[in-house]
């Protein structure tokens, strides 16, 4: 079975992304697993091939290797369609504003879809579809979930349970597109991924994804949500925080020096290559605290 790294190609990877990629590779390789690379380019407006190439080159420069071809999600739409057909779903005509307003209602859980379009009659659906078509918009497609929470296991946090709602599988609007949760689950299954290492900003998605995998008859992977890199204000590191991408860091440091910084952020001193780090890596010792980037 395999681990993976799955970047969205919307710009260069920064220190935090690179550190998560190194961790994903370390966990997979130290467990004797294969390691796959997947480019998550379903958001066609924000993705570019050029970004993907730059990301892959940066990961290679850091000494990460992967098995098999890189999988591009933009080549997988037929598989997403097939998965969608297996699920209980319904069309949703809500705008972002409708959802925001409905979720302000006293009994609605924040951030959860309030179910506005779940029980519309066929006649109401015909009308809503017409209204949207007049605005040149497509309905979204949502999962008809049969529960509101789902349990999963995270190697750093132990047993977890998270909220599940009627989340979107196919995004609507003027440019419909596949939704992240569906694409991730279908592709992790396709690539034989049984270990998902990623930043803990995605911890909230894990219950939905584990539930979706179960509905699709696929095994649920082991999750390892690793702590993020924060800036000195305690916010998630971003490109605006300065010299954080590999090309930027290489302006005044060598590759081994940049690698040493990543290794140091993981608690390992004087390590300047991926192979060296793999020799000493102890998965059980990873800190669960965020790392502050100076």
Show binding-site residues for L-glutamate. 4-8, 40, 180, 198
Q: Give 8 or 189: the residue with its C-beta nearer to ligand GLU.
A: 8
| Helix-, strand-, coil-residue percentages of the chain, each rounded to 5 | 40, 20, 40
Whole-angstrom Cα distance, residue 241 to residue 231?
A: 7
| From 76, 198, 208, 225, residue interacting with ligand GLU (rule: CB under 6 A) | 198
Residues belonging to the binding site are 4-8, 40, 92, 94, 113, 117, 180, 198, 239
By CB under 6 A, the residues from 5 to 34 that bind ligand GLU are 6-8
Interaction between residue 183 and ligand GLU (CB under 6 A): no
Interaction between residue 99 and ligand GLU (CB under 6 A): no
Q: Give 29 or 36: the residue with its C-beta nearer to ligand GLU.
A: 36
Q: Coil, strand, or helix at residue 169?
A: strand
Q: Give 6 or 92: the residue with its C-beta nearer to ligand GLU.
A: 6
User: Around Cβ 257, how many Cβ atoms within 10 Å?
Assistant: 12
Alpha helical stretches, state H, the chain: 15-30, 49-61, 77-86, 96-102, 122-134, 180-190, 203-215, 246-249, 255-265, 274-280
| From 112, 163, 202, 243, residue interacting with ligand GLU (rule: CB under 6 A) | 202
Interaction between residue 184 and ligand GLU (CB under 6 A): yes
Residue recorded with tokens 């705008």: 95
- Count how many Cα atoms sit within 13 Å of the Cα of residue 142 in the half-sphere of its side chain: 21
Interaction between residue 145 and ligand GLU (CB under 6 A): no
List the Cα angle 124/127/128 in 5-degree steps: 85
**Shortest distance, position 43 Cβ to ligand GLU, whole Å:** 9
Give the residues lining the site for ligand GLU (CB under 6 A). 6-8, 40, 184, 198, 202
């Amino acid at each position: 079975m395999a681990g993976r790294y799955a970047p969205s190609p919307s710009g260069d990877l920064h220190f935090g992304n690179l550190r998560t990629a190194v961790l994903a590779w370390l966990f997979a390789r130290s467990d004797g697993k294969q390691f796959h690379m997947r480019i998550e380019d379903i958001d066609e407006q924000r993705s570019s091939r050029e970004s993907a190439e730059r990301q892959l080159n940066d990961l290679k420069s850091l000494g990460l290797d992967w098995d098999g071809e890189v999988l591009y999600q933009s080549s997988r739409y037929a598989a997403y369609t097939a998965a969608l057909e297996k699920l209980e779903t319904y069309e949703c005509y809500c705008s972002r504003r409708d959802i925001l307003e409905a979720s302000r209602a006293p009994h609605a859980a924040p951030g959860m879809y309030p179910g506005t379009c779940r029980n519309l009659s066929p006649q109401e659906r015909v009308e809503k579809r017409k209204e949207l078509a007049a605005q040149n918009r497509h309905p979204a497609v949502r999962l008809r979930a049969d529960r509101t929470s789902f349990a999963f296991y995270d190697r750093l946090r132990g047993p977890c349970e998270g909220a599940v709602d009627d989340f979107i599988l196919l995004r609507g609007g003027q440019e419909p597109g596949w939704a992240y949760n569906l694409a991730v689950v279908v592709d992790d299954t396709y690539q034989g991924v049984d270990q998902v290492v990623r930043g803990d900003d995605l911890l909230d998605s894990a219950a939905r994804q584990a539930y979706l995998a179960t509905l699709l008859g696929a095994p649920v992977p082991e999750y390892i949500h690793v702590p993020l890199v924060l800036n000195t204000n305690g916010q998630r590191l971003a490109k605006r925080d300065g010299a954080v991408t590999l090309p930027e860091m290489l302006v005044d440091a060598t590759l081994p020096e940049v690698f040493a910084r990543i290794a140091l952020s993981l608690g390992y001193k004087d390590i300047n290559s991926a192979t060296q780090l793999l020799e000493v890596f102890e998965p059980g010792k990873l800190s669960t605290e965020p790392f502050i980037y100076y």
